[in-house]
Structure 1
Amino acid sequence: MKKTFLYCIPFMFLLSCKKEKKNSPEITQTEKTDSLIATRIDSAKIPATIQYKGNFRDGFRWKDKTGEYIVITSETGIYRNENLPHEFDDSGDAEIFAHCYSLQNNQQVWKVYDYIKDCPVDIVAEFVKNTLSITDLDHNGIAEVWMMYKTVCHGDVSPSDMKIIMYEGNKKFAMRGESRIQYGINDNNEPMFEGGAFTFDKAFKEGPKVFREYAEKLWNKHIQN
């Protein structure tokens, strides 16, 4: 397999805050339990005081026993920021963001940021569709916020880096690995695959079993997307 590569810079840069047009239809998806009410939102439902970077991808608003919150995922898509140093003349950049805010005081609770930078070949940096979700799997009245995304810089057909990030309150849980691709058929006419492995971080390993079960189910559902 050809090695994927990625060039990092030692500092982050600011992007212009972008909001989608306000005439887009509202996306409705509501989750309710005894301690949680969560509703999927579109960009028109984001309070004017909340800013985010990149282009809106998905969002949820919820209320649990600790307060009321909003989470927004966004992506820049593939572009080239001329304010950044680039080794290659034809390379590109792409970034993804997730921002969680408390609606009581508009303060940021946590942020997820990942990227591909200075890539001269194919770039992927995107959230997996319909994987942003709000749960309360351990029934403690504190919402769990789930998201899944892929990043890769490669010039061949090879697996992408893939991550599931979950926050319960301000505690982060991470599951990291690779997507799975079919690269051929063996002598018995059976498909051959590459990638698909993952590891749980310490928080997942020491956390409730129901978190790991949900994460594995989500991973397996999207392993070849």
Structure 2
Amino acid sequence: MTNLLVLFLGLTPLLPLTILAQGTIKVTAIDKSKLPAGIKFPGKLKQAIRWNDLAGDNIVVTSETGIYTNPKFKHENEGRDAELFAFHFIVSDSIQQTWKVYDLISDCPVDLEASFVKNTLQVTDLNNDGIGEVWVMYRTVCHGDVSPSDMKIIMYQGKQKYAMRGTNKVQVGEKEFEGGEYKFDAAFTAGPAEFMQFAVKLWNKNIQQKFE
């Protein structure tokens, strides 16, 4: 029996060591100085993470410009701009960018924001296929009052994009709130149920606007 077990283990392909358990992939945070030389991005680095799965050696970078004036944009209101980016790379003999997330607010004459929601960048393997699902969540808004921001969850598995779009929730009275609604795109609707379930939990965890 022992010999058979050893033979079985010897013939079984080893899964990547970063796949820990059902639905979980271990990621490592890396700083800008540790990024491969071929990885470039605009704006200021927010987060960079790395992991291995069946697709290979993965790196995701998120960045934001902050509030500034982009000379490439048309400005009719003497407003300001803000952009955000997320990039996914596969690292092997060369570096291949497989997808990009980009969003912005432009020419905003009042308060504006284009920023990732803190502590929401993560990698899962909810359908247990050995390929990580990458989740990014962010807010964009141009407003001069206390009103909800547009909020999005973008998830990629491989090159397949999933999107959940809506608004966050703000308190406008003692017991009165606005916002909080969302819609799934067709990919989420047609995809595994666990993807939608995870997205709803992530949304609800970050739905409330917290003003600092």
Q: Identify the residue that residue 180 of structure 1 maps to in structure 2.
A: 169
Unaligned runs of at least 5 residues, structure 2: 1-17
Q: Identify the residue that residue 49 of structure 1 maps to in structure 2.
A: 38
Cα distance in 2, alignment partners of residues 221 and 83 from structure 1? 36
Q: Identify the residue that residue 133 of structure 2 maps to in structure 1.
A: 144
Cα distance in 2, alignment partners of residues 224 and 94 from structure 1? 22
Q: Identify the residue that residue 33 of structure 1 maps to in structure 2.
A: 20
Residue 80 in structure 1 maps to residue 69 in structure 2 = yes
Cα distance in 2, alignment partners of residues 212 and 172 from structure 1? 13
Cα distance in 1, alignment partners of residues 188 and 159 from structure 2? 14
The number of residues matched between the two structures is: 190
User: Which whole-Å deviations, capped at 9, do the CAs of 1:73-97 have from their partners, x for residues lacking one?
Assistant: 00000001234321023x1000000
Q: Identify the residue that residue 192 of structure 1 maps to in structure 2.
A: 176
**3-state DSSP of counterpart to 1:85:** coil
Q: What is the identity percentage for the equivalent residue pairs of Structure 1 and Structure 2?
A: 54
Instruction: Give the structure with the higher percent helix.
Output: 2
Residue 208 in structure 1 maps to residue 192 in structure 2 = yes
Check conservation: 2:19, 2:130, Cα contact below 8 A: no
**3-state DSSP of counterpart to 2:172:** strand
Q: What are the within-5 Å matches in structure 2 for residues 43-192 of structure 1?
A: 43-89=32-78, 91-104=79-92, 105-185=94-174, 191-192=175-176
Residue 220 in structure 1 maps to residue 204 in structure 2 = yes
| TM superposition score normalised by structure 2 | 0.85
RMSD: 1.6
Bigger Rg, structure 1 or 2? 2
1:37 shift after superposition: 4.1
Q: Higher relative CO (CA 8 A, sep ≥ 6), structure 1 or 2?
A: 1
Check conservation: 1:32, 1:38, Cα contact below 8 A: no
1:98 shift after superposition: 0.2
Cα distance in 1, alignment partners of residues 49 and 139 from structure 2? 20
Check conservation: 1:59, 1:132, Cα contact below 8 A: no
* Structure 1 outlier segments of 4+, above 3 Å: 34-37
Cα distance in 2, alignment partners of residues 58 and 103 from structure 1? 17
**3-state DSSP of counterpart to 1:184:** coil
| TM superposition score normalised by structure 1 | 0.81
Cα distance in 2, alignment partners of residues 76 and 135 from structure 1? 27
